[in-house]
Chain A
Amino acid sequence: QKEVEQDPGPLSVPEGAIVSLNCTYSNSAFQYFMWYRQYSRKGPELLMYTYSSGNKEDGRFTAQVDKSSKYISLFIRDSQPSDSATYLCAMSAGGSGTSYGKLTFGQGTILTVHP
């Protein structure tokens, strides 16, 4: 079983829809939770970061973490065609020494927002 599970989709929604992307994880040591966005034929870029449980909002994007359920979500409001990309969740326990900063990624969800 993978440490981080993410439904690869693909997910197709109309412009303006609310999108929900989710990941589950099994490692209770994970404390730091990230969402990366990857456009086609590009490298991933950090979209949002959350520490421990709770919500974080940034414009149309909201990240939620529920550590008790080992479940994280990314919500996109008023989705736009420019949001079409692969969304990867990533997690870290923090670590120490040379392992500090190592990230474990989910499989990525392919999202298409059509006009």
Chain B
Amino acid sequence: NAGVTQTPKFQVLKTGQSMTLQCAQDMNHNSMYWYRQDPGMGLRLIYYSASEGTTDKGEVPNGYNVSRLNKREFSLRLESAAPSQTSVYFCASRKSGLADFYEQYFGPGTRLTVT
């Protein structure tokens, strides 16, 4: 049981390049989330998917797109990377149902630098 996995672990992009961050979970969770973490800013929600087939914007969605490929996978795409998108990106998932909704399971993160 790997939990939440993210690829790649590290990436360096030039301004204007595009890339997709991959996330997968093997816990049969319905809800999945993408966050970015910057010094002094905490975790900020970029996009989330309450269930397969749905996606919604979070606090900081500009410059990103997402795809909920199936129940296991939720990808984050940067179409034209900017230096302001330099950050650590975390994917998370959550159990279904009303109980334990507060516990999100996080992946190890992707460290992205845009030059």
B101 near A98 with CB under 8 A, answer: no
B102 near A92 with CB under 8 A, answer: yes
Q: What B residues does A105 contact at CB under 8 A? A: 35, 42-44
What CA separation (Å) do A48 and B43 show in the bound complex?
Answer: 17
| B31, B42, B54, B101: most-surrounded residue (chain A CB, <10 A) | B42
- Among A20-56, those with CB < 8 Å from B are 32, 34, 41-46, 49
- What 0/1 readout, one digit per residue, does chain B (101-113) give for beta carbons within 8 Å of chain A? 1111011110000
Assuming A34-B102, A92-B102, A102-B48, is B54 touching A43 (CB within 8 A)? no
Interface residues of A (CB under 8 A from B): 4, 6, 8, 32, 34, 41-46, 49, 88, 90, 92, 94, 97-103, 105-108
Interface residues of B (CB under 8 A from A): 4, 31, 35, 40-45, 48, 50-51, 54, 56, 58, 90, 92, 94, 101-104, 106-109
The contact sample of 13 A-B pairs, CB cut-off 8 A, is A32-B102, A34-B102, A42-B108, A43-B106, A90-B102, A98-B50, A98-B51, A101-B50, A103-B45, A103-B104, A105-B44, A106-B42, A108-B43
